[in-house]
Amino acid sequence: MSRLGNIGAKLYRGEVGYDFVAKRMLWYGISILITVVAIAGLGFKGLHMGIEFQGGALFTTPPTSVSVEQAKEDAKAASGGHEAIVQQLGNGSLRIQVGGLDTASATPVTEKLAQDLGVPAEKINTQLVGPSWGQDIADKAWTGLAVFMVLVVIYLAIAFEWRMAVAALIALIHDLTITVGIYALVGFEVTPGTVIGLLTILGYSLYDTVVVFDGLKDGAKDITKQTKYTYSEIANRSLNATLVRSINTTVVALLPVAGLLFIGGGVLGAGMLNDISLSLFVGLAAGAYSSIFIATPLVADLKEREPQMKALKKRILAKRAAEAAKGDAGQGDAGQGADAPEDAVAAAAQGVVSPRPGRGRSTQGKRR
C-alpha cells in the first residue's frame, strides 16, 4: 500500500487525525474574509456581462497581424465610442465583441473594421445578439438555482436532518458567492458558458459534504447511549475518515478543468472554455474547502446546542475528569514506593511492575 493509502487507512480507523472541528472559529474567520473580498470585488468592479445579456455584435476576423490593443482602439473608433472586448484566437484571427450595436449600425462598423485591420469585409463574420435572449437565459438560470436549492434542503432534511440541510445550504451559498466574486475580480466575461459552469458546480459542491454527512449519521447513531465521544468528536472522526478520499476526488476533478482553463483558454484563446472552466475551477476548489472546513463544523455547532448533546458532553467530561484524577492518584502511589523514578520508568518499559514497599521484604523473609 502506498504512503498516502496508509495515511488514509489510519485516518479511517481513527488512529491519526486533525481536529478540524475544534478549530472551526479559525475556518469561519477565513471564510468570512474570503467572502467579504469576493463581495467587495462584486460591488466595486461588478460583473462584466457579455453581449448575450446586454445585446451587441460579435465580429470574427480572418488571421491578421494587428495587435489586440490596436484592434480595441480600432473597434472603439469604428463603433462610435463603444467599449470593445478583443481576444486573439489560436490561428491568429481576432474575436471582437462590441456591446450596444444594432443591425443598422453593425454593417458600417464591419466595413470600418475591415479597412482599419487590413482584411476583406466579406471575410469578417458578424453575429448580432439581442439582449432579450440573454435575459431569458438568466431568468431560467435563477429559476433553476432556486428550485435546486429547495430540493436539496428538502432531500437533506429527510435523508439526514434539518441541521445538516442548513449547513449544506450555507456551504453552497458560500461557494457560489466566492465563485461569482472571483469572476468579478478577474474580469472575465459573463456568458451562457458561465451560467452553465455555475449550475454545474452545485452538484460538485454538495458531493463531498453528503459523503461526510452519511458517515456522521452512522457514527452518531445511538450516540446518547455511550460516554466515549461527544458529537463534535464523532463529526471530526467522520471528516478525517473521508479526508483523503475528498482530496483525491477533488484533485482528479481539478486537473482536467485546469487544463481547459490554462491551456485551452489561456494558450489557445478559446473564449467559451475560459467562461466555463474558470467557474468550474473556482467552484470545485471552494466546494472541497467548504465540505471540510464549513459544513461539518457548522453541523457540530448546531448539534451541540441540543439539550441532549449538552448533557452527553457534560457526562463525558465528568467521566474523563474522574479517570484523570484516578490515574493521577495511581501514579502518586507508585511514586511513593519508588526510590528512583528512572528505575520505575525502566521497569514499566520492560513490562515489570515494582512491588510495593514491604512485600519484597516479607517474601524474602518467608524464603529464608
Residue 148 sits in the same domain as residue 222: yes
Count of structural domains within the chain: 2
Question: Which has more pLDDT, 3 or 174?
Answer: 174
- Residue 228, domain CATH: 1.20.1640.10
Q: List the domain range (segments joined by +) for residue 147.
A: 20-49+133-311
Domain C-terminal end among 274, 291, 311? 311
Residue 194 and residue 120 share a domain: no
Which of 65, 97, 129 delimits the end of a domain? Answer: 129
Name the residue with higher pLDDT: 368 or 107.
107
| pTM of the predicted protein model | 0.72
pLDDT category at 340 given cuts 50, 70, 90 is: very low
Angle of helix 243-258 relative to helix 3-13, nearest 10 degrees, comes to 140
Q: Are residues 150 and 73 in the same domain?
A: no
Average pLDDT, whole number, for the chain? 78
55 within 8 A of 100, measured Cβ to Cβ: yes
- Tell me which of 260, 291, 311 is where a domain ends: 311
Q: What tens digit of pLDDT does each residue of 79-118 get?
A: 877 778 787 776 778 888 887 777 777 788 888 888 888 8
Q: How far is residue 79's CA from residue 368's CA, in Å, rounded to a whole number?
A: 116
Q: Are residues 203 and 271 in the same domain?
A: yes
**Same domain assignment for residues 102 and 221:** no
CATH value at residue 89? 3.30.70.3400
Query: Are 249 and 144 within one domain?
Result: yes
pLDDT for 243-274, tens place per residue? 878 888 888 888 888 887 777 655 555 556 67
* Distance between CA atoms of residues 292 and 215, nearest Å: 13
Residues 196 and 277 in one domain: yes
